[in-house]
Structure 1
Amino acid sequence: MAMPLAALHDLRRLLVCPRCRAELAMEPDGFRCTAADCAHHRDGAFPLAGRWPVLVDFERSVVNLDAVTTQGAGGRAERLPAPLRRLVKPPNRVAARNVELLLRALPGPAPRLLVVGGATVGNGIGAVYRDPRLEVIGFDIVGSPFTQFVADAHQIPLPSACVDAVVVQAVLEHVLDPPGVVAEIHRVLRQDGLVYAETPFLQQVHAGAHDFTRYTASGHRHLFGRFEELGAGAVAGPGTQLLWSVDHVVRSLTRSPTAGRGVRALLFWLRALDRLAPPDFAQDDASALYFLGRRRERGMPPEEVIRYYRGAQ
């Protein structure tokens, strides 16, 4: 896979302090803020974890320095044989279609795209890493081959209006303040910049203590109220939602996540029910939702949020 990741050497000029957004100075063992009155002006304020700068304001973050470790570019599903992997984690065609739309809409010969929570290549967004036009910036709370620095999405260490697009897939459920993170995404986007987001609606807890939030379609639209909608809908519908539930029922009865995953693989055909559900019913019973939008300045009045509802009720 071609990897159009920006080199950290070239990216350094963009990095800013996550607290005050002043420029950073590079040191042998990390970075520090150049603002004399900032708490992060001290030497070693932003250390290195391996080769990754850790640009986190730990006093204002749930990220723990001791927990910042490197990880590989794949989880359990990626280590399975290809046929079984497709049963457990089928290709996300909705994401692939929407990412292609996003890439076609990007301006200029060398657009800059930010992946929030990009420690692994998200399901269906591989085109981002194959497009030779792109300059890709990726960060997460751990380092990986697909990220250039470690950061907390509540305080993105980049200047305002510096990227043309943001992809945030299966991340917003894992942050304490999703509206704050979306505000940061809005801040770093240039005028008319694009965002593509996927967020769970009807899914069981995953990632344990770091899973906080779910959104209905109307709630997800309100979350991205300062964006013009280019597309929105279900990533996966009621069949996939049922499959999640069966998996976790088996886990709870057997006390075994492996047993749950096994039953989930056997009942893969339940996903076919997604295709039978009309879009309005699917919206009310989706496993996950997507939003593709363009940055704007105005927000979304409450009455517009109410009128937005497109479900079957």
Structure 2
Amino acid sequence: MQLRVSPAAPPRALSDSLVCPRCRAPLIGRETGLACTAPQCGRVYPIVDGTPILIHDENSVFAVADFTARRGGEGAGPETIKLRGEAPARGLKAALRRAAERAIYFSVNASDWSSEKSVDYVARALPEARILVTGAGDKRYPDLPNVRYVYTDVILGQGADHVCDLHDLPFADATFDAVIAVAVLEHVADPYRCVAEIARVLKPGGYVYSVTPFMQQVHMGRYDFTRFTFLGHRRLFRHFTEIKAGMALGPAGALAWSFEYFVLSFFRGRRARKYARAAAKVATLPLKYLDRVLAKREGSLDAAGGVYFFGTKAEQPISDRDLLKFYRGLDVVYED
């Protein structure tokens, strides 16, 4: 499939808040794309099928060229950067496969909070809210009269308003009232820098909701870098005041995930791994429901599959000494 570079097409959600991801100077529309207004920079960013590609090549594992032409080998490649317009599988076989996937490829939600609740909280707190959704994929939030969403991703083809890297967001300071980052920060090379970028684009008192894995194996292959304990995740957001924080995926879900990857370790072929994964998913279906019990047990965070944080941008960070007060597990006692 040939990508269509269409610089004349107006990008979705384009506004005065867009800046160059390299130097943060304002961007203006030109026939060749979106151009940086700083003479010493002068970079031009292409627009592919109406979506601006706002990548700082020198600071990213991705490159603008990954989105303007199909390439193999280097870069993200077509296996990760999906191309707009690729038709989904159709027919009875495809429908049955999707139904089977929904039946076995799921997690039991035992968390007391979610990104949807965060959006609702922000909508209730502010008369008008602009919310940035990073790593959005095909996720969409309910249309609310006082909320405007801006969806971003490093994937072209799932309706992102802008393709950009969280390390260098192409938005001016204090642009957003809230930022959503669900299962994003484990896939960035420098999560601390990315959280600093989140804080930069948030208005004073702005909100952030983040979910990251803790007890999970590698997923997305080479694009998986980091895991956080509950306290490690809290320190990542030390410049924020906590509203809610806790378990996003429980110990049973983590155990099911671990068993699945244990089984996969025995297989190499793509087809064999596909069926082995499905078998492991089926075998652990009942196990996942234990999370509804474990979610209420003290110490479950020590073995959680993932954790979340929801809070507001603070003027002063919490100290590492104060950070220890946030521990909510049951420390193991070793006896002689």
Look up the match of 1:215: 228
- Conservation of the 8 A alpha-carbon contact between 2:110 and 2:292: no
Compared CA separation, residues 97 and 177, structure 1 to 2 (3 A): closer
Question: Across the two proteins, how many residue pairs are aligned to each other?
Answer: 298
Residue-by-residue CA offset, 1:102-147 (whole Å, 9 max, x unaligned): 42333444310000111221xxxx5x24334321101111223431
Alignment of 1:198-213 (within 5 A): 198-213=211-226
Which of 35, 39, 53 aligns to 1:36? It is 39
Structure-2-length-normalised TM-score: 0.81
Q: Distance in 1 between matches of 2:112 and 2:83?
A: 24
* 1:302 positional shift: 1.0
- Conservation of the 8 A alpha-carbon contact between 2:20 and 2:54: yes
Which of 316, 320, 333 aligns to 1:302? It is 320
Look up the match of 2:191: 178
Which of 14, 17, 21 aligns to 1:18? It is 21
Unaligned runs of 5+ in 1: 1-6
Alignment of 1:43-54 (within 5 A): 45-54=44-53
Which of 245, 255, 260 aligns to 1:247? It is 260
Compared CA separation, residues 300 and 85, structure 1 to 2 (3 A): same
Q: Distance in 2 between matches of 1:98 and 1:51?
A: 27
* 1:75 positional shift: 9.9
Deviates more, 1:229-238 or 1:254-263: 254-263
Which of 150, 155, 159 aligns to 1:146? It is 159
* 1:265 positional shift: 2.8
Q: Distance in 1 between matches of 2:40 and 2:16?
A: 21
Residue-by-residue CA offset, 1:137-183 (whole Å, 9 max, x unaligned): 01111223431111110000001111111100000000011010001
Alignment of 1:1-313 (within 5 A): 8=11, 10-38=13-41, 41-42=42-43, 45-68=44-67, 69-71=81-83, 80-82=97-99, 84-90=101-107, 92=109, 94=111, 97-106=114-123, 107-121=125-139, 126=140, 128-255=141-268, 256-258=272-274, 259-277=276-294, 278-313=296-331
Structure-1-length-normalised TM-score: 0.87
Q: Distance in 1 between matches of 2:290 and 2:136?
A: 30
Larger CA Rg, structure 1 vs 2: 2
Unaligned runs of 5+ in 2: 1-9, 68-80, 332-336
- Conservation of the 8 A alpha-carbon contact between 1:52 and 1:149: yes
Q: Distance in 1 between matches of 2:311 and 2:47?
A: 35
Report the aligned-residue RMSD: 2.6
* 1:297 positional shift: 1.7
- Conservation of the 8 A alpha-carbon contact between 1:246 and 1:260: no
* 1:88 positional shift: 0.9
- Conservation of the 8 A alpha-carbon contact between 2:217 and 2:258: yes
Look up the match of 2:5: none
More helix by share: 1
Q: Distance in 2 between matches of 1:51 and 1:101?
A: 29
* 1:31 positional shift: 1.1
Q: Distance in 2 between matches of 1:80 and 1:95?
A: 31
Q: Distance in 1 between matches of 2:136 and 2:282?
A: 26
